[in-house]
Structure 1
Amino acid sequence: MPSLHPSYPPYIPVIKWQKAEQKALEAIDEELVDQVWPCIEVRGVTHHQLLMSEVFHYWKGTVLVDYADPSGRLGGRRMEVFESFLSVAGAKNYPIIPVLDSRDAVELSDKMQQLLSTFDSVVVRLRIESLSLSQDHFKQVQDACRILCQLKVSPRLMVDMGECPSEWAAQDLRSFAAVLRDMKGCGFYTVHLTSGAYPESLSDVSSMAEYDRHDWRLWKELNTIASDLLLGYSDYGILSPKWTEEILKKIAKKVALRYTREKDWLILKATGKKKQDSIDLSVILVTRYAKDFMGSKFSLGDRVMATRADSEVPDREKKGGASSHLTEAWIHHIAYVVKEQY
């Protein structure tokens, strides 16, 4: 459970199942593992045995697995492959929580119902836009909760806004919280609010930028007015909710450091992609932004950045490159949320 909110459910970072993110999960401090439930989005149709071996190589705790396509549905071969995955995971009693879109959750085949019944919990993922919850949304999650309860599994709800709005009215927030309360009252064990505020592109950044973490601010304000909900925190971390597989292949052409702070992300960007560019940015981070830098003992990600900035460490021992920076940014982000905020 979260260290600062011990009665709340674990933090759920939404993870695109790419190599940089896999390495980040592997590097999370062991003491934090029980406080984090990664939600793995298997965007490619990955063979179930391969995914199983990857997951338990990189992560030792509970994990959510979502096989949906970018629209959120189990279309095409995804349903078939997801069923194969659940068959193996359920038989081996792995600490996996299946994730189903609310639209799929009310249209379960007999086979899928049988497979889901072998798990302790199932997450219903309700995808919405902004702070808008309709009667249709409520009916979907109500029916999904009823079906899962009949299967004798613990239903959990993940309300996913995708891109987080930057502004909202107090009345809209109160209305939203009221509907969330009614949804939880349907029988869900936990409710998480998922959203992302990280920018879709860093192409406009020349050397430095700061981007507000609206997703964290939204959760804080909701938690203030509806603390009885024990609303779980979930985000897209240092990735935009709009990023697809194709975009992910293009995001790392220049070296950039992404550093999570209390209210925003600090972005430091170089003009090139050589190791020296990585070193120079790290020096800027630990000197010019010393008051923000959490220190080498905070997380493995911070340690990598500090080592890279240390002039006494030979360059050959320093990790650099765009992919490495994604990994260390994720490690730091997860550690920051769990240790300092949630």
Structure 2
Amino acid sequence: MQKSEYVPVIRWKRGEQSAIKELEKNIKDNISPIIEIPPIDWDFDKEEFKKSIDQHLSNFAKQIEECWNENTLYIDALQICLDDEETMESGTHPLKFIFDHLEGINIKAIPVTSPSRGENYQSAIHEIINEYKTGVCLRLRDEDFDEIEDLLLTTRGFPCDTNEIDLIIDYEFIEPKHEKRTSKLVLGSLQSIPDINSWRNLIFIATSMPDNLSAISTGTDGSIPRIEWSIYNKLLKASLPRYPTFGDYIIQNPNYNQIDPRVIQMAASIRYTSKSEFLIFRGFSVRSPKHGKWGQAKTLCERVIKSPQFSGENFSYGDKYIHECALGNTSTGNAKTWRKIGTNHHLTLVFQQFANSPGVLASDK
């Protein structure tokens, strides 16, 4: 990236893959997603992983090719490399395996690392930079800024120049009530970065989407303020030598939770992003025949399109689907369907916010 672009964190699951596949080309041309490889699902009955690491990654390059275009994307393999000894059957590091299989596809991928990752992960990063000339993306958390100057000195060990290194300031989950305090922390973090104009790209990422929606009662509608967007716009009004571009976690929380499906009580819901909020339309347990299982999504869609914040059926693929479902013209789907729909709408809306906001576009100065 050499211009302001939206940098969403996309958890590489079927719903999210389908969501970006349905994006219009001009949107794909102006976003640079961070693709997070999710951990392998756990089989709670057999008490073992459902797949091997080779099976988990076997179709990754093909999926990327089908869903994306030639614009830049980042790849973060932390969740499958929490054990730093993890390798493919061939002995190749999983991250290196991914980049080897992306070779030949017309996609510009950049590997993501952070200071806390293991020796083998960092060795794979060096191999990728040397072989594919990708540069690297350094993903920093709040705690990394305690000694930021010393930390960034270690980037001299990467086999690339500073102008080939992207910096992400990732504040992960922000409680809405902590907006003012977090705004000051983010501003201080940006001001503490040495040689701030020398880095290839500078990106701020956060979300206010909670780990679960229990604060909103089943069968009701609620909302959560998009604190990350509010903080970002405050940054653009501050006096900074360089302004970051914006990223978020779309409509999900950063945490990865492996929940036993035998005990979970999932309620049908639609997460619908507006200009300043996440609107939450909650139904009831999808196990309940009384409430129609996923058939209740039709009623949820009716509530969405009646909202004054509904963007209209022609706004995005996701909005069209919501409108058609409300009319009973398409399937009420399942959890993957509504993650796809909510994700597609969100990506379209944030892209529009960038396109229509001179203040955001000024972040390149």
Normalising by structure 2, report the TM-score. Answer: 0.78
2:295 equivalent in structure 1: 276
Alpha-carbon distance in 2 for matches of 1:53, 1:177: 37
Alpha-carbon distance in 1 for matches of 2:251, 2:111: 24
The answer on 1:155 being equivalent to 2:165 is yes
> Is the contact between residue 184 and residue 190 of structure 1 (CA under 8 Å) also seen in structure 2?
no
The 1:152–1:258 alpha-carbon spacing in structure 2 relative to 1, beyond 3 Å, is closer
2:62 equivalent in structure 1: 53
Offset of residue 243 of structure 1 = 3.4
1:205 equivalent in structure 2: 216
Q: Mean alpha-carbon deviation: is it higher for 187-196 or for 299-308?
A: 187-196
The 1:323–1:91 alpha-carbon spacing in structure 2 relative to 1, beyond 3 Å, is closer
> Is the contact between residue 128 and residue 159 of structure 1 (CA under 8 Å) also seen in structure 2?
yes
Amino acid across the alignment from 1:26: K
Alpha-carbon distance in 1 for matches of 2:68, 2:77: 18
Offset of residue 333 of structure 1 = 0.7
2:145 equivalent in structure 1: 133
Alpha-carbon distance in 2 for matches of 1:65, 1:189: 17
Offset of residue 43 of structure 1 = 2.6
Q: Mean alpha-carbon deviation: is it higher for 97-106 or for 298-307?
A: 97-106
Amino acid across the alignment from 1:219: Y
Offset of residue 298 of structure 1 = 0.8
Q: How many residues align?
A: 324
2:314 equivalent in structure 1: 297
> Is the contact between residue 258 and residue 267 of structure 1 (CA under 8 Å) also seen in structure 2?
yes
Offset of residue 87 of structure 1 = 2.9
> Is the contact between residue 69 and residue 75 of structure 1 (CA under 8 Å) also seen in structure 2?
no
Where structure 1 has 5 or more consecutive residues not aligned to the other structure, the ranges are 2-6
The answer on 1:242 being equivalent to 2:255 is yes
Alpha-carbon distance in 2 for matches of 1:128, 1:248: 33
Q: Which of 118, 133, 142 is the aligned partner of 1:119?
A: 133
Alpha-carbon distance in 2 for matches of 1:326, 1:252: 17
> Is the contact between residue 122 and residue 156 of structure 1 (CA under 8 Å) also seen in structure 2?
yes
1:241-284 residue CA offsets vs partner (Å, 9 max, x unmatched): 12334489998822101111111111011124334311111111
1:282-323 residue CA offsets vs partner (Å, 9 max, x unmatched): 111112x1x21111111100110011122xx54xx3343322
The 1:263–1:110 alpha-carbon spacing in structure 2 relative to 1, beyond 3 Å, is closer
Alpha-carbon distance in 2 for matches of 1:58, 1:271: 32
SS of the aligned residue for 1:224 comes to coil
Identical positions, percent: 19
2:180 equivalent in structure 1: 168
Amino acid across the alignment from 1:12: V
Q: Which of 322, 328, 335 is the aligned partner of 1:322?
A: 335
Where structure 2 has 5 or more consecutive residues not aligned to the other structure, the ranges are 41-52, 287-292, 355-359, 361-365
> Is the contact between residue 14 and residue 237 of structure 1 (CA under 8 Å) also seen in structure 2?
yes
Q: Which of 36, 45, 51 is the aligned partner of 1:41?
A: 36
SS of the aligned residue for 1:102 comes to coil
The answer on 1:308 being equivalent to 2:308 is no
Query: Over aligned residues, Cα RMSD in angstroms?
Result: 3.0
Offset of residue 183 of structure 1 = 5.4
> Is the contact between residue 237 and residue 333 of structure 1 (CA under 8 Å) also seen in structure 2?
yes
1:28-56 residue CA offsets vs partner (Å, 9 max, x unmatched): 11110011111111133653442111221
1:11 equivalent in structure 2: 6
> Is the contact between residue 296 and residue 302 of structure 1 (CA under 8 Å) also seen in structure 2?
yes
> Is the contact between residue 65 and residue 105 of structure 2 (CA under 8 Å) also seen in structure 1?
no
2:304 equivalent in structure 1: 285
Amino acid across the alignment from 1:234: G
SS of the aligned residue for 1:9 comes to coil
Offset of residue 205 of structure 1 = 2.0
